[in-house]
């Protein structure tokens, strides 16, 4: 039985299964089948564990957990593109999801729902996917762009339309910046229309981010202070959140923006301010251990917010390796309390003893996965 529309089923009955990776990264042909609530991929560094998580992350709009280019995803010894597919199981029904790229058009992402081609933003209507990777440990010390992308991914998991709004905002910004950088004076009428579009979509993006941060901060405040350091979040707007006010600000700033050859006000300049609750210390100034703990706390708080209308997946790459036994146990307890399907990676089984009886386990080696 195949579904023809976005499902509305109890979340606990939904999971992703029968995942097939073809010519993706170091996986020639890997099949992951028989999934459950907790799913564990173990193997040596470089075996291909994170590649499986990346493949799953491509069932969300965007560039996946590595933000890689499509051309970098096919197996290095092939020139035949790549394909990823999976069944979204909902009670006795299933939806077949697929994505990949063909060798003829390696930079164009192909997305299919039940074998019918669809835009990538449609994926957000079927799945809410969150992830935490070691590379994200630097998010508090990197530039504001990293934190905006982080916000947008979290917002997308709650609000599927955010993907479309963010894409339209980016397109309008590129066009305005192109006109501003042109040696010829831009047509004011054309700028008016472009700025109206930018302001409308920009205001939607800003409101989604603001709402997300408010909800996250409230969820974090309700969590215990230990064993994970609890952060406090503040949304810092890069411009007015009202469409009319943003359009007026863009219009008034044309001369300044033309001199800078870029747009200097708007949601593309938003910032997420994070401080460690109790200490009042900016996250960027905290220790790496505290930063890691705060990032885990944000991820767990976000999992609480995920709605019940769509299946939820949480991808945790090497998250248990750097936690002491107390924090690992606390992590697993909180994950049990949610309704997301959990995917974890590790180099060995020992850190996952607490969930050994609950997890489906695969040994990953040289781009192959074997069920244990």
Instruction: Concatenate the DSSP letters of all residues of 57-81 into one string.
Output: HTTSSSSTTTT--GGGSB-TT--S-
Within 10 angstroms of residue 259's Cβ, the number of other Cβ atoms is 10
**CA 242, CA 207: separation in Å to the nearest integer?**
9
Tell me which DSSP letter residue 211 carries. H
**CA 257, CA 253: separation in Å to the nearest integer?**
6
User: Tell me, what's the pLDDT at 2?
Assistant: 35
**CA 118, CA 99: separation in Å to the nearest integer?**
10
What is the rounded average pLDDT of the residues 55-77?
A: 90
pLDDT tens across 176-216, in order? 999 998 878 888 899 999 999 999 999 999 999 999 999 99
Cα separations in angstroms, 39 against 16, 97, 327: 11, 19, 19
pTM: predicted TM-score of the whole model, two decimal places: 0.87
Q: What is the dihedral of CA 137, 143, 145, 151, to 10 degrees?
A: 40
327/85: higher pLDDT: 85
User: Tell me, what's the pLDDT at 364?
Assistant: 96
Percent of the chain with pLDDT over 70: 95
Percent of the chain with pLDDT over 90: 64
Whether 76 has a pLDDT exceeding 90, the answer reads no
Walk me through the domains of the chain, giving residue ranges and CATH numbers: 1-127+313-372 (3.40.50.300), 141-309 (1.20.1050.90)
What are the backbone dihedrals phi and psi of residue 309, each rounded to the nearest 5 degrees, phi first?
A: -80, -20
What is the rounded average pLDDT of the residues 304-314?
A: 75
Sign of the alpha-carbon dihedral angle for 259, 260, 262, 268: negative
pLDDT tens across 207-250, in order? 999 999 999 999 998 887 778 888 999 999 999 999 999 999 99
Whether 307 has a pLDDT exceeding 60, the answer reads no
**CA 49, CA 317: separation in Å to the nearest integer?**
8
Tokens 């033309």 map to which residue?
A: 258
What is the rounded average pLDDT of the residues 305-315?
A: 77
Which residues are CB-neighbours of 313 under 8 A, at least 6 positions away? 16, 56, 59, 127, 128, 129, 130, 340, 341, 342, 343
**CA 224, CA 71: separation in Å to the nearest integer?**
44
Q: What is the largest CA-CA distance in the chain?
A: 68
Mean model confidence pLDDT for the chain:
89
User: Tell me, what's the pLDDT at 1?
Assistant: 31
Whether 6 has a pLDDT exceeding 60, the answer reads no
pLDDT tens across 282-293, in order? 999 998 888 888
């Amino acid at each position: 039985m195949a579904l023809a529309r976005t499902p509305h089923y109890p979340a606990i009955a939904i999971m992703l299964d029968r995942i097939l990776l073809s010519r993706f990264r170091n996986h020639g042909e890997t099949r992951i089948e028989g999934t459950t609530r907790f799913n564990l991929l173990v193997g040596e560094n470089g075996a291909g564990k994170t590649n499986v998580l990346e493949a799953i992350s491509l069932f969300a709009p965007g560039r996946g957990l590595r933000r890689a280019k499509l051309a970098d995803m096919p197996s290095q010894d092939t020139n035949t593109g790549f394909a990823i597919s999976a069944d979204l199981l909902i009670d006795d029904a299933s939806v077949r999801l697929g994505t990949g790229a063909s060798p003829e058009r390696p930079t164009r992402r192909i997305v299919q729902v039940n074998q019918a081609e669809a835009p990538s933003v449609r994926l957000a209507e079927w799945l809410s996917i969150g992830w935490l990777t070691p590379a994200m440990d630097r998010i508090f010390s990197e530039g504001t762009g990293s934190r905006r992308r982080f916000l947008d991914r979290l917002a997308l998991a709650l609000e599927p339309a955010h993907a479309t709004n963010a894409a339209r905002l980016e397109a309008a910004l590129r066009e305005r910046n192109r006109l501003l950088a042109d040696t010829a004076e831009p047509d004011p009428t054309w700028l008016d229309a472009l700025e109206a579009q930018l302001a409308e979509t920009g205001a939607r993006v800003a409101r989604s981010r603001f709402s997300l941060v408010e909800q996250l901060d409230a969820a974090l405040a309700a969590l215990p202070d230990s064993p994970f350091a609890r952060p406090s979040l503040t949304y810092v707007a890069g411009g007015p959140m009202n469409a009319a006010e943003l359009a007026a600000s863009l219009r008034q700033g044309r001369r300044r923006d033309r001199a800078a050859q870029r747009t200097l006000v708007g949601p593309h300049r938003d910032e997420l301010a994070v401080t460690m609750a109790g200490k009042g210390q900016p996250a960027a100034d905290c220790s790496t251990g505290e930063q890691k703990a705060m990032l885990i706390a944000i991820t767990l708080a976000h999992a609480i917010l995920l709605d019940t209308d769509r299946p939820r997946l949480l991808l945790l790459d090497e998250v248990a390796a750097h936690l002491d036994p107390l924090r690992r146990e606390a992590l697993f307890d909180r994950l049990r309390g949610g309704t997301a399907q959990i995917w974890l990676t590790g180099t060995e089984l020992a850190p996952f003893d607490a969930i050994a009886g609950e997890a489906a386990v695969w040994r990953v080696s040289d781009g192959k996965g074997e069920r244990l």
